[in-house]
């Protein structure tokens, strides 16, 4: 009831689509940069946008895959990629917006992956990991297909933000918070940690070995 009022699934779905658009833009930009053609750019965009959720669903044995029954994902990704390929000279005008979209996507993807794993009766640790998978594996696949060192394993506040949000959810859940409200709080925390990290250029330490 409260769930329905405060945090209906339709809102999560819309935020999910915002994240999908951000991923499709990032995938298309990198693929164009690598010299891929129109269909190659679309494929990389799809890997970036639904790759994480696809691997999560395969790992959790959820079939059919979410984008096979809801074709909106394919339409939104293809349209985003084609529009960007046609008007890519306008990209610098939307650069700021894409960072925002990307942070929204990180939060929405994490919440969805975390929720899905809990609904499959996974342990909280696996749920945290499925939130991280959903949020980062798309970007990982994009970088692997484009033959690059994965960015998401370096710009670490991605993974950390997702974990912080999941841990907060589990903590508030333990305190008895309503699940719908809690998802909303989790979404806000991940978004907020990511934006703070972007603003203040936060990084986890990385220990580089000397050869």
Applying the rule CB under 8 A, the residues between 14 and 43 that interact with a second copy are: 29, 31-40, 43
Among 3, 85, 168, 185, binds a second copy (CB under 8 A): 85
User: Please, what is the minimum distance in Å from the beta carbon of residue 19 to a second copy?
Assistant: 20
119 binds a second copy per the rule CB under 8 A: no
∠ CA 103-112-17 to the nearest 5 degrees? 55
Q: Does residue number 150 form part of the binding site for a second copy (CB under 8 A)?
A: yes
- Residue with token string 């991280």: 132
List the structure tokens of 122: 């996974």
Closest distance between a second copy and the C-beta of residue 70, in Å?
A: 10
Q: Does 59 bind a second copy (CB under 8 A)?
A: yes
Alpha-carbon distance of 206 to 82, in angstroms, equals 37
CB of 103 to a second copy, least distance (A): 17
The answer to the question of residue 206 lying near a second copy (CB under 8 A) is yes
Q: Applying CB under 8 A, which of residues 2, 6, 79, 125 lies at the interface with a second copy?
A: 125
Taking the complex as a whole, how short is the minimal distance between the CB of residue 181 and a second copy, in angstroms?
A: 28
Cα–Cα distance for residue pair 56/66, rounded to 1 Å: 10
Q: Does 185 bind a second copy (CB under 8 A)?
A: no
What whole-number distance in Å separates Cα of residue 140 and Cα of residue 149?
9
- Sign of the Cα torsion 55, 59, 62, 63 reads positive
Q: What is the DSSP string of 141-163?
A: HHHHHTT---STTTSTHHHHHHH
Please name the residues in contact with 129: beta carbons below 8 A apart, sequence gap of 6 or more.
117
In the complex, the residues that contact a second copy under the rule CB under 8 A are 29, 31-40, 43-44, 54, 58-61, 63-65, 68, 71, 74, 85, 88, 122-123, 125-126, 129, 132, 140, 144-150, 152-154, 156, 159-160, 163, 203-209, 211
């Amino acid at each position: 009831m409260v769930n329905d009022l405060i945090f209906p699934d339709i809102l999560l779905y819309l935020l999910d689509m915002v994240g999908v658009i951000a991923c499709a833009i990032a995938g298309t930009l990198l693929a164009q940069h690598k010299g891929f053609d129109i269909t190659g750019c679309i494929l990389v965009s799809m890997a970036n946008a639904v790759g994480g959720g696809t691997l999560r669903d395969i790992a959790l044995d959820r079939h059919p895959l979410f984008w096979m029954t809801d074709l909106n994902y394919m339409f939104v990704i293809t349209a985003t990629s084609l529009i960007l390929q046609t008007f890519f000279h306008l990209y610098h005008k939307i650069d700021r917006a894409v960072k925002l979209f990307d942070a929204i996507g990180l939060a929405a993807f994490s919440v969805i992956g975390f929720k899905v794993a809990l609904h499959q009766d996974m342990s909280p640790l696996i749920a945290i990991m499925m939130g991280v998978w959903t949020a980062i594996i798309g970007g990982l696949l994009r970088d692997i297909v484009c033959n690059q060192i994965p960015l998401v394993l370096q710009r670490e506040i991605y993974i950390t933000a997702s974990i912080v949000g999941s841990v907060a959810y589990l903590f508030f859940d333990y305190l008895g918070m309503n699940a719908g409200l809690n998802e909303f709080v989790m979404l806000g925390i991940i978004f907020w940690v990511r934006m703070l990290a972007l603003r203040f250029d936060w990084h986890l330490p990385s220990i580089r070995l000397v050869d």
